[in-house]
């Protein structure tokens, strides 16, 4: 550092050029920096999705889910496998260690998936990996509406035109489609006509496959040119399909497809729908962003592309966005920006008030933007996005400490030597800078070191706070470089030392108040130390009464309502229920948009049954609300209104991003999940109901939901093998009829330009309208007889499973709940006690607590290791600085003094102890210890000059009043806007800022009184230590603030 200082003063122009280059690099990095509201907490994971319309949940688990899970087991870095098996859909999620690259694990999964596919019969579906997106990937959602066009036409337009054009936008990985009807060409066979012509379904299948094809015949050379040979028999219209010949009747009369049924355009069986504002069904497009892309850039380009597309659509078709995440990002970043600007202005004001020199204040203030530009460069290189966590915890007060020390000592030295030549001025500045160089390095090192253990956090808490720690370290390193290399150069050009480097009015008043207090504390140390101990014990008592939670809930501004119904409900009834809810919600003046997604989309990254709906409610800014003043109050009123109008449904209230993160991180959508593991789904359901009843008796439990795994009615046609043998049939003859009853069999593809649609053969609706109708379907035998299906198969109606959830290759059921009005930690403690006292699970069944509680436990366990390590590092650095342990231990008293204020501040503001608050404690320790270093180092230096301990303590305390107050004020005021802000995103920063400010208040007040008292009390032993060991620090190293006061 000394070499850097000398070179910067010697080559000032080169320093200026370097400063300009650093500024340019920082500005470019800021422009290129990915900006988002919050860090992406999504684990490294891969989803494997398989559609199988012919299978129920048990068969999906047996034939698809289990082989995929088995094939993935043993992959490097694999931490967890979750799966959901529903009617027609398998969704397997493989979660890997966070150190693994997203695309590397996709390659690993792809290799294993190729093996698993060989075990899955092709007729049951083909597994596919989901898009490489994250919980923050749903960046833009819109509805497509038209007064004239049908839902099928709108979906076709969205799927084949709009979505494909949006997918060409850089950063867009998928456009998922919800609602509408998927177009098919269907040959609807009339069983009676089929039998009248003595035909079978097998013949229809084979005829359509053979008459809807295309072949190539190579090429020929003709007249010195080559001609391609093609054989074309592709049907392109309903008319062509109708005139395909199946066979010939008596007299050679052809039997056409139109003779045995109807060819029509129709919709496939739907497993999802969408509606809007209670007006009817709609079609939704959901733009999903590639993992790691810049949300603002992607959405900006998507909006431009939407405008281009809109201009090409029919006039009556309108693309209407209802969710744009950049609005949320902009509001959160505005909160961060305002807090940083306000904090920076407060810090600069304090600098002027304490320094009393405009030029010096401007030089020091320059440290803030320059340090931030260096931090931006580091963030860009480290791949860290600018968000609420990475930028929101930067305290500008910390960035100016070193520069304050440097400029103040330079001004004092220049004032003492008077005006001279430029060479003399440079020599004085270099001498002054070297005096405080190493203390500045020590001070910044202490602050940096307290952030280093945060880098060891892993999991969710690591994703949240590691970027913050890295950013702060970059910024502090930048502030150190600025103080050492830039401040002396700027001082050479702009600083003018004066001989009357007097104290400001503010400092004089502070001294007038502090002097009698100090005199009292030195004469009666017990009167100060005992209350300090009492305050510490009181803070521990207050701390024990604090609730505990993982993280404060981030206010997103919008709302998501989850609706659940009986699993047996039909899709049309689900849609009617959703429309009724929408009509209630839209009546609230706070609501601007209501859009509902029911069931699953085409790419089922969000696995829901048709009994489940997500209602997205877009709200006005809270300042415009009239029905309620808080969101909790609005939720209570809205819940009552919905349940009064639409009884018999379950409701859960959350937020869009929060819901998505909960689902991706823990496999559930609520704050708390109780997972019950076992084999029998009915037993799991029974135990889940009991746990839900017990949970409902615990105060604070809301939106309790038991995962609906049973209760779906089914019609089973169980083949009677004895009867099959009697009639000369095999099982496939029967299963073919059942397959064709509703879902049909795909026999080809119909092309309309670039668009392609499935060609399906199925029976008429009347043939499968009821169990009895299904049993009356006639099956031809090889002997020319017609046998009803009910004669060769047992037709049964019973209740089956609706869903099978698995975790780490075990079946499980989840009881979910949101927590309102109390903290997570105390709620779980009470709930665990209640469940343990009232419920005993059968042998072979056990439960685990999940959701945010899992992450709270992991983070608390990790921080219980990190906090002691941080304290030991601080103590080790203090011992290195002073060369002996006693003064280091004395300064270390600032830690409990600071902790007292932090805990009391949380208690007074009724904030629970969260991971954010714990990280605030770590940041607080470093700042608080500096105050002790400032004070004790000055006292020791005065003792080294021969002053008795009592006089050294009194004079040193008065000398260090200004630096102690300045350090505490610039640090606390830098955090003040974060502590009192109420705008979007402020709730996450509030606990951290509250702890730092509260801790600095008590540590500063007690440092100025308790440490001098204790130092004087043990003065004899200190004098003996000094006499035997000498000063362990050179005078120029005794304190980072030695230059602030004139030498006594």
Summarised one tens digit per residue, pLDDT across range 551-595 is: 777 788 889 999 998 888 999 999 999 999 999 999 999 999 999
Catalogue the E-assigned strands of 894-984. none
Burial readout 376-413 (b: 16 or more C-beta within 10 A, e: otherwise): bbbbbeeebbbbbbbbbbbbbbbbbbbbbbbbbbbbbb
Classified by CATH at the fold level, domain 558-654 comes out as Alpha-Beta Plaits (3.30.70)
- Residues 991/906, Cβ–Cβ less than 8 Å: yes
How many CA atoms does the CB half-sphere of 439 hold within 13 Å? 29
Q: Are 1040 and 439 in contact (CB under 8 A)?
A: yes
User: Torsions phi, psi of 190, nearest 5?
Assistant: -90, 115
pTM: 0.82
Crossing angle (nearest 10°) for helices 396-417 and 961-980: 150
Domain borders along the chain are 1-30+357-451+464-493, 43-133, 183-267+713-801, 518-547+883-1042, 558-654
Residues in the chain: 1048
* Whole-number Å distance between alpha carbons of 333 and 337: 6
Residues of the chain with pLDDT under 50: 499-500, 1022, 1025-1026, 1029-1048
CATH number of 518-547+883-1042: 1.20.1640.10
- 630 neighbors 651 (Cβ within 8 angstroms): no
Chosen CATH of 183-267+713-801 out of 3.30.2090.10, 3.40.1160.10, 3.40.50.300, 3.40.50.720: 3.30.2090.10
Residue 1048's pLDDT is 33
What is the Cα–Cα distance from 102 to 82, expressed in whole angstroms?
Answer: 18
Domains 1-30+357-451+464-493 and 183-267+713-801 share a fold: no
> Under a CB-based contact definition with an 8 Å cutoff, are residues 347 and 400 in contact?
yes
Query: What are the pLDDT digits (tens) for 482-511?
Result: 988 888 888 888 776 554 456 677 778 888
Residue percentage of the chain with pLDDT more than 90: 28
Give, for 349, the enclosing helix (H) or strand (E).
helix 325-355
Helix (H/G/I), strand (E/B), else coil: 288: strand
Fold of 1-30+357-451+464-493: Multidrug efflux transporter AcrB transmembrane fold (1.20.1640)
Q: Residue 945: which residues within 8 A CB-CB, separation 6 or more?
A: none
CATH classification for the domain delimited by 43-133, as one of 3.40.50.850, 3.30.70.1430, 3.40.50.970, 1.10.10.10? 3.30.70.1430
- Average pLDDT value over all residues in the chain: 85
Q: Which residue has the tokens 């870095």?
A: 77
What span, in angstroms and rounded, lies between the C-alpha atoms of 578 and 598? 8
């Amino acid at each position: 550092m000394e070499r850097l200082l000398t070179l910067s003063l010697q080559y000032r122009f080169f320093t200026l050029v370097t400063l300009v280059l650093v500024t340019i690099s920082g500005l470019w990095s800021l422009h290129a920096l990915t900006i988002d509201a919050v860090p992406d907490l999504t684990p490294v994971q891969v989803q494997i999705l398989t559609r199988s319309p012919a299978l129920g949940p048990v068969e999906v688990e047996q034939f698809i889910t289990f082989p995929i899970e088995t094939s993935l087991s043993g992959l490097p870095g694999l931490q967890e496998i979750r799966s959901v098996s529903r009617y027609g859909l398998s969704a397997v999620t493989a979660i890997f260690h966070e150190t693994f690259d997203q695309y590397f694990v996709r390659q690993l999964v792809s290799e294993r998936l190729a093996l698993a596919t060989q075990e899955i019969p092709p007729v049951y579906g083909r597994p596919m990996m989901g898009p490489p997106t994250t919980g923050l990937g749903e960046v833009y959602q819109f509805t497509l509406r038209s007064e004239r066009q049908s839902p099928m036409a709108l979906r076709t337009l969205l799927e084949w035109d709009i979505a494909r054009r949006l997918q060409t936008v850089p950063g867009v990985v998928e456009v998922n489609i919800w609602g509408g009807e998927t177009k098919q060409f269907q040959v609807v066979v009339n069983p009676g006509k089929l039998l009248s012509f003595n035909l079978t379904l097998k013949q229809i299948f084979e005829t359509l496959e053979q008459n809807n094809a295309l072949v190539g015949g190579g090429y020929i050379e003709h007249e010195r040119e080559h001609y391609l040979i093609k054989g074309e028999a592709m049907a392109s219209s309903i008319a062509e399909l109708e005139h395909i010949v199946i066979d010939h009747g008596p007299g050679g009369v052809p039997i056409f497809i139109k003779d045995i049924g109807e060819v029509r355009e129709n919709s496939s069986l739907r497993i999802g729908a969408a509606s809007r504002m209670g007006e009817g069904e709609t079609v939704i497009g959901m733009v999903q962003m590639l993992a790691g892309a810049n949300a603002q850039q992607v959405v900006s380009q998507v909006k431009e592309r939407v405008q281009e597309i809109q201009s090409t659509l029919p006039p009556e078709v309108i693309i209407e966005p209802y969710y744009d995440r950049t609005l949320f990002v902009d509001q959160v970043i505005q909160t961060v920006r305002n807090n940083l600007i306000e904090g920076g202005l407060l810090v600069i004001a304090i600098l002027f008030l304490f320094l009393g020199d405009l030029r010096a204040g401007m030089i020091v203030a320059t440290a803030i933007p320059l340090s931030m530009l260096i931090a931006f460069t580091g963030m860009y290189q480290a791949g860290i996005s600018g968000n609420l966590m990475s930028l929101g915890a930067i305290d500008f007060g910390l960035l100016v400490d070193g520069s304050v020390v440097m400029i103040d000592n330079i001004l004092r030295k220049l004032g003492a030597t008077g005006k001279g030549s430029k060479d003399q001025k440079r020599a004085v500045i270099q001498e002054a800078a070297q005096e405080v160089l190493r203390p500045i390095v020590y001070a910044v090192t202490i602050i940096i070191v307290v952030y280093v253990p945060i880098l060891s956090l892993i999991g969710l808490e690591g994703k949240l706070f590691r970027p913050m720690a890295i950013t702060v370290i970059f910024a502090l390193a930048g502030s150190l470089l600025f103080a050492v290399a830039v401040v002396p150069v700027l001082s050479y050009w702009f600083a003018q030392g004066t001989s009357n480097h007097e104290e400001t009015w503010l400092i004089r008043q502070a001294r007038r108040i502090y002097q009698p207090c100090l005199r009292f504390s030195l004469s009666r140390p017990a009167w100060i130390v005992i209350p300090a101990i009492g305050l510490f014990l009181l803070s521990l008592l207050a701390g024990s009464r604090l609730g505990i939670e993982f993280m404060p809930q981030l206010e997103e501004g919008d709302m998501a309502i989850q609706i659940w119904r009986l699993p047996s409900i039909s899709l049309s009834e689900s849609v009617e229920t959703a429309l009724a809810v929408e009509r209630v919600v839209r009546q609230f003046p706070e609501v601007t948009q209501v859009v509902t997604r029911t069931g699953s989309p085409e790419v089922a990254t969000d696995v829901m049954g048709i009994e489940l709906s997500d209602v997205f409610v877009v709200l006005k800014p809270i300042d415009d609300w009239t029905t309620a003043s808080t969101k909790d109050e609005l939720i209570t009123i809205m819940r009552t209104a919905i349940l009064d109008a639409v009884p018999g449904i379950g409701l859960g209230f959350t937020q869009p991003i929060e819901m998505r993160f909960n689902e991706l991180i823990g496999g559930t959508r609520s704050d708390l999940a109780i997972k019950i593991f076992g084999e029998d789904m009915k037993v799991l359901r029974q135990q889940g109901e009991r746990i839900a009843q017990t949970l409902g008796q615990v105060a604070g439990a809301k939106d309790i939901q038991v995962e609906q795994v049973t209760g779906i009615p089914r019609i089973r046609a169980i083949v009677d093998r004895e009867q099959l043998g009697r009639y000369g049939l095999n099982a496939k003859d029967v299963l073919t009829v059942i397959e064709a009853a509703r879902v049909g069999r795909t026999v080809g593809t119909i092309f309309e330009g670039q668009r392609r649609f499935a060609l399906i053969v199925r029976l008429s609706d009347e043939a499968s309208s009821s169990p009895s109708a299904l049993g009356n379907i006639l099956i031809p035998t090889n002997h020319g007889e017609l046998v009803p299906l009910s004669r060769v198969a047992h037709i049964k109606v019973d209740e089956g499973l609706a869903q099978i959830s698995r975790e780490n290759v075990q079946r499980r059921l989840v009881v979910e709940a949101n927590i309102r009005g109390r903290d997570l930690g105390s709620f779980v403690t009470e709930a665990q006690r209640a469940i343990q006292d009232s419920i005993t699970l059968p042998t072979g069944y056990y439960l685990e607590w999940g959701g945010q509680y899992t992450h709270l436990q992991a983070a608390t366990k990790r921080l219980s290791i990190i906090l002691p390590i941080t304290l030991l590092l601080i103590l080790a650095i203090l011992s290195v600085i002073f060369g002996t342990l006693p003064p280091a231990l004395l300064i270390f008293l600032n830690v409990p003094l600071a902790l007292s204020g932090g805990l009391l501040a949380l208690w007074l503001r009724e904030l629970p102890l969260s991971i954010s608050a714990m990280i605030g404690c770590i940041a607080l320790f470093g700042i608080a210890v500096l105050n002790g270093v400032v004070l004790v180092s000055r006292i020791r230096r005065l003792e080294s000059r021969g002053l008795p301990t009592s006089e050294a303590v009194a004079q040193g305390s008065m000398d260090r009043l200004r630096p102690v107050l300045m350090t505490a004020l610039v640090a606390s005021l830098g955090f003040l806007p974060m502590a009192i802000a109420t705008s979007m995103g402020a709730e996450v920063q509030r606990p951290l800022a509250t702890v730092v400010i509260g801790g600095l208040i008590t540590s500063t007040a007690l440092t100025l009184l308790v440490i001098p008292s204790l130092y004087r009390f043990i003065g004899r032993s200190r004098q003996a230590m000094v006499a035997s060991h000498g000063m362990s620090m050179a005078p120029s190293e005794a304190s980072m603030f030695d230059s602030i006061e004139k030498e006594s």
